[in-house]
Amino acid sequence: MVAGASRCPQAIRGYDSRPVNIDLRDSWTLGNVLIPSRLVLAPMAGVSVQAFRRQGRRYGAGLVCSEMVSVAGIQHRNERTLGYLRVGADEHPLAIQIFGSDPVAMAEAARMVEAAGADVVDMNFGCPVKKVTKTGAGASLLDDPDRACRLVEAVAGATSLPVSVKTRRGVENGSRDCLTVGPRLVEAGAASLTLHPRSAKQMYTGTADHSLTAELVSLVNVPVIASGDVTSRAKAQAVLATTGAAAVMVGRGAQGNPWALREIMGDDSEPSREEIVAELLLFIRETVRELGEFRATGFLKKFYGWYLGQGRFPKPFKQELVVLKTIDEVESRLLAAAPGAADVLERLEADLGPADEVLLDSLPISLYGGG
């Protein structure tokens, strides 16, 4: 168990209200991979592009994760290519997440993940989206633990990388299936488990029941990552203290808001107007480099609201950006709103440096729902 992760049995039915002092900068290990902080950036479809992951690393995430990669796309080679696997030198440690229901295809995908330069193969057993679950993948695997274990065995046997599994509490509301399936996944070869203690039917409604996380920690001898409702430093420390988890995973709270990660890591200073615009401009440029301007133009629209929301900029300004037709127009409008952002952006780009990537040009990927 990680230093400072001792569980408080009297508090596992809720969050401990007493002051806690857990250092999220403590390192821990996932298999043979050293993770330099106890903050993990979640894999999110339509969000976790390389620009998002690189930003997460800069703001304190010890481990970053790709969005889901369809193993069917790898096996059949007949899907339109939506992008290429890119692994930047400054992303490590990086987990690439795969999903599917066929052991042979999953094993092949794991070998390609290793070839791409990832540090961890992550398996998605938690996605609640119907187009994924109806294929026997994602959260539906919690109703088929034998198949789930065969998938983990196939992946663990195909790669030298540690294998992690991201899962939910179960398919049905109130399910405790994660407590029976989780230990079996570890026996099958999982080096770590991530638990989002909502049911698949809940999607993202209600609250995450981290008493289940604490119970899972007590049942397995591998690190458990606690996912769900970690929105502040206080919540992160409370979840770690009351569950014994090795790390916390942050997802939606970091969308267009890297300062949430900074706050969790101990710096609660508010970003300036210039810092917000500079980070958005850097994100735009990095995304255009990765996806190309045509794809990036539509992809980025949701990020404008995420970055500029929370009262940071007037709502009409965000709406104005969404209707602009080109990236150049968006950049010009942002710099007009915060001229000092140009100097901040220049410093950010100098510190970031070029993206030294490994590319797998033959790998088609398919992105579906989140996990």
Q: Active-site residues: which are they?
A: 127
The answer to whether the beta carbons of residues 230 and 260 sit under 8 Å apart is no
C-beta atoms surrounding 94 within 10 Å? 24
Nearest CA-CA partner of 249 in 196, 320, 311: 196
Alpha-carbon span 94 to 13, nearest angstrom: 32
Contacts made by residues 264-269, CB under 8 angstroms, sequence distance 24+: 264/24, 264/39, 264/60, 264/230, 264/232, 264/233, 264/236, 265/24, 265/25, 265/37, 265/39, 265/59, 265/60, 265/233, 266/24, 266/25, 266/233, 268/233
Copy the structure tokens of residue 178: 């994660």
Q: What is the DSSP string of 31-54?
A: TTEEESSSEEEPP-TTT--HHHHH
Rounded Cα distance, 265 and 117, in Å:
27
Rounded to whole angstroms, the Cα distance separating 303 from 322 reads 10
Q: DSSP strand E in the chain: where? A: 28-30, 33-35, 39-41, 63-65, 69-70, 86-88, 94-99, 120-125, 163-170, 192-199, 224-227, 247-250, 357-359
Nearest CA among 57, 25, 30 for reference residue 41: 57
Q: Distance between CA 19 and CA 100 in Å, rounded?
A: 42
Token representation of residue 160: 């030298």
Token pair in block for residue 360: 């797998």
